[in-house]
Structure 1
Amino acid sequence: MSDTERSIQVLLVDDEENILKSLQRLLMEEEFELHTASSAEQGIATLKELDNVGLIISDQRMPGMNGSEFLQYCREAVPDAPRILLTGYSDISATIDAINKGGAYRYISKPWNDAELIQTIRDAVRQYALLMENRRLNEIVRQQNEELQEWNRNLKGRVLEQTTAIRQKNEELHVLLKRVKEDYDEIIAVFSGLVEMHGGKLRQHSRNVAELSVNAARELGISGNDLETIRIAALLHDIGEIGIPERILALDRDAMNADELKQYQQHPIRGQVAIDTIEGLRAAGLFIRHHHENLDGSGFPDRLAGDEIPLGARIIAFADHIDKASETCRGDIADQALIKSGFVVGTQLDPSLQKVFRKVAPYTYFSMGAEEKELVEVELDPKELKEGMFLSRDVSSASGILLLGRGVALDVTKLAAIRRNYELDAPPHGVFVMVSR
């Protein structure tokens, strides 16, 4: 129970019985408990039994210990209780002592005015009550501050723990996403390799088209997801050929009969349909569908013309034409392939892309001109391979699954993949690479 909830005790000390009775009658209606003592010594004894003393009133002239001395004792015993001295007009020195030594709140001269005395007593008790209430509230604030500080310390700890946990989860998620991206790229590469194997292509056509397309797109300022869409579409642009008989794919279009040509011209649609169920590949599917459209509207499957053909499809079509032309080129492959492609620029291919491909094509066909004279092809055991070497031939398993294509530069990851492939399903020969003479 707090001090403000308990009854406030008031002590009256006077050696005159009639004065004590007079004060008791005067204060009998007040809201505090009144106690009396007829001497300072009795008052000290009474104080020891009381709790929550809110006011002490003492006469100055008493036998033994006088009022000033008694109030001085009370100042030490109950420092929070206001103290009032009853004194006569002639006791000025005693009054000064009561104020200076006893810390008296007020002094009241005898005889007193009842109304003034009651108001003085009420003010003193109210002052004590306010002091106790203020102390109680301060204690509550102190406790709450301690609780708040403890809560803040715990909060900091929890926040730190959660931040650490979130950081760890983010790192795990980053690793997982990286792995998913790597797996995703590997799956795309495998599909691309299957297309080449199905079509009887002994070189990395899809990857060449993808490299040409990505480099050209970068030159045009394409980046981010749009660039990735072009890369995937270029790698999978012929995926619709799977399911078409190989004898048809081996024919030139001019040599196909009507039924064979109809089957062949369905492969862009089949390619789009094959990946359309994967929402993330639908944009790439649109480029796959239209990579055989011609600028003059004579292409297939939808006979789109000019800007009706998506830019990504026009880029892939140009890259596809260059790489197919390069199959019969020798020496400066890039330059010769670009010359051959130039014959259909404006009818089949977009002329606005010609300058871009002239810039990027030489980077795809590394074995040309002077460089070709400085490099020779050698067959090495997988253990003899080193970082930085270029593959001169495709690397496939004994069962015919394409692992890496010609022209790829070897790094730590690719070296590990080749060596593992040779442990699991080794072909009857080593790995062919280009090395300096």
Structure 2
Amino acid sequence: MQPNASRILITGVLTLNTVIEAVNRGEIFRFLAKPWIREEVLATVDNAVQRYALVEANERLSIDTLELNDKLVKSNSELEDKIQQLELQARDLEASNQVLEENFNHSLEICFRLIEAFHPVLGEQTKAVASICKEIATSELLSKRDREVLKVSSWLYNLGKIGLPRELLTKSLNDPQSLTEQEQILLHHYPVYGQTLSGFVGALEEVGLTIRSHRERFDGQGYPDGYSRELIPEPARHLAIAVAFVESALPRDEALEYIIRNSGKSFHPEAVRLFMKSSNLSNLPKKVRELTLAELEPGME
């Protein structure tokens, strides 16, 4: 059977009924009357061949289109299923991340309470430093990752001090100039202890490095590793300034002048500029230090 064949009728019968029946029942492509002209026959055969090729090609194309449509419907169905699975996974992941964030914040809270319980002054200093670093972290000059590292580090930088003898810690807060060389060596290890302890809070390698380096100086005279300039992690440069301001025994304005004066010495110049720009100086937290009984006066807060 050749349903797509191009049929040509050549006849000497020229009645109208014969033509109509041939066209309707035989699906004739062309009708030629005798006597025919050779060129007309050749042209008719050539056109019939082209017509057959087009019909065959169109039929194959229709079949291919139907198959592709079936595959597309199947693929769309599979895609919808995958999208639903991904949406479920995304919701589960979001819920898991929320739980992780809550657990992480809870761990930070526990660490802060531990610092505060060990020595209340450390707790007050930590809150003040965290307040300054939160303000600095609003700057777009810092990458998103460095902003997060700075904020977390500001809550944990004092963690290493709970490994120091309480007497040494009190002495370092009240009269750091009276520390012996051995006591200074011991005190200079607290950033290393802090780096180690911060590892128990979570996967905080960058936070640990920031805590370890926040006592380094721009000129390389800091501790514990003697890093200088760009070797100091960027969050640690900003944390160092916040800690220096809060722990300074100088009045507020003099402490700010000290930080500016030591730009390029103790502190990274860019970090100093960002501190002065980002920290609303009128809203800087109160400086924190421990007072002896002899220093207490009526009306002091």
Give the TM-score normalised by the residue count of structure 1. Answer: 0.50
The verdict on how the C-alpha distance between 1:203 and 1:255 changes in structure 2, with shifts beyond 3 A counting, is: same
Matches within 5 A, 1:243-392: 243-252=163-172, 253-275=176-198, 281-293=204-216, 299-303=222-226, 312-325=235-248, 336-339=251-254, 342=257, 346=262, 350=267, 353=272, 356=276, 359-360=279-280, 362-365=282-285
Q: Secondary structure at the match of 2:186?
A: helix
Q: Which residue of structure 2 lines up, in the alignment, with residue 207 of structure 1?
A: 127
Distance in structure 1 (CA, Å) of the matches to 2:255 and 2:178: 20
- The Cα of 1:127 is off from its aligned counterpart by 5.6
The verdict on how the C-alpha distance between 1:245 and 1:150 changes in structure 2, with shifts beyond 3 A counting, is: same
Distance in structure 2 (CA, Å) of the matches to 1:315 and 1:280: 22
The verdict on how the C-alpha distance between 1:283 and 1:2 changes in structure 2, with shifts beyond 3 A counting, is: same
Amino acid at match of 1:360: N
Q: RCO (CA 8 Å, sep 6+): is it higher in 1 or 2? A: 2
Distance in structure 2 (CA, Å) of the matches to 1:351 and 1:70: 105
Partner deviation per Cα, 1:56-107 (whole Å, 9 max, x = no partner): 55444xxxxx86644443333213264xxxxxxxxxxxxxxxxxxxxx4232
Q: Highest CA radius of gyration, 1 or 2?
A: 1
Amino acid at match of 1:188: L
Distance in structure 2 (CA, Å) of the matches to 1:124 and 1:310: 87
Matches within 5 A, 1:4-403: 54-60=7-13, 69-80=17-28, 82=30, 104-108=31-35, 120=41, 131-201=51-121, 203-216=123-136, 218=138, 221-252=141-172, 253-275=176-198, 281-293=204-216, 299-303=222-226, 312-325=235-248, 336-339=251-254, 342=257, 346=262, 350=267, 353=272, 356=276, 359-360=279-280, 362-365=282-285
Identity of aligned residues (%): 17
The verdict on how the C-alpha distance between 1:318 and 1:338 changes in structure 2, with shifts beyond 3 A counting, is: farther
Distance in structure 2 (CA, Å) of the matches to 1:53 and 1:257: 112
Q: Is the Cα–Cα contact under 8 Å of residues 269 and 289 in structure 1 kept in the other structure?
A: yes
- The Cα of 1:223 is off from its aligned counterpart by 4.2
Partner deviation per Cα, 1:37-62 (whole Å, 9 max, x = no partner): xxxxxxxxxxxxxxx894555444xx
Q: Is the Cα–Cα contact under 8 Å of residues 159 and 198 in structure 2 kept in the other structure?
A: no
Unaligned runs of 5+ in 1: 5-51, 61-65, 83-103, 327-334, 367-437
The verdict on how the C-alpha distance between 1:218 and 1:79 changes in structure 2, with shifts beyond 3 A counting, is: closer
Distance in structure 1 (CA, Å) of the matches to 2:163 and 2:99: 31
Distance in structure 2 (CA, Å) of the matches to 1:343 and 1:311: 21
Distance in structure 2 (CA, Å) of the matches to 1:214 and 1:3: 81
Partner deviation per Cα, 1:220-241 (whole Å, 9 max, x = no partner): 9334112222222222212222
Q: Which has the higher helix share?
A: 2
Q: Secondary structure at the match of 1:105?
A: strand
How big is the alpha-carbon RMSD for the aligned residues of Structure 1 and Structure 2? 4.4
Amino acid at match of 2:128: N
Q: Secondary structure at the match of 1:189?
A: helix
The verdict on how the C-alpha distance between 1:217 and 1:156 changes in structure 2, with shifts beyond 3 A counting, is: closer
Q: Is the Cα–Cα contact under 8 Å of residues 10 and 34 in structure 2 kept in the other structure?
A: no
Q: Which has the higher strand share?
A: 1
Give the TM-score normalised by the residue count of structure 2. Answer: 0.68
Distance in structure 1 (CA, Å) of the matches to 2:6 and 2:147: 86
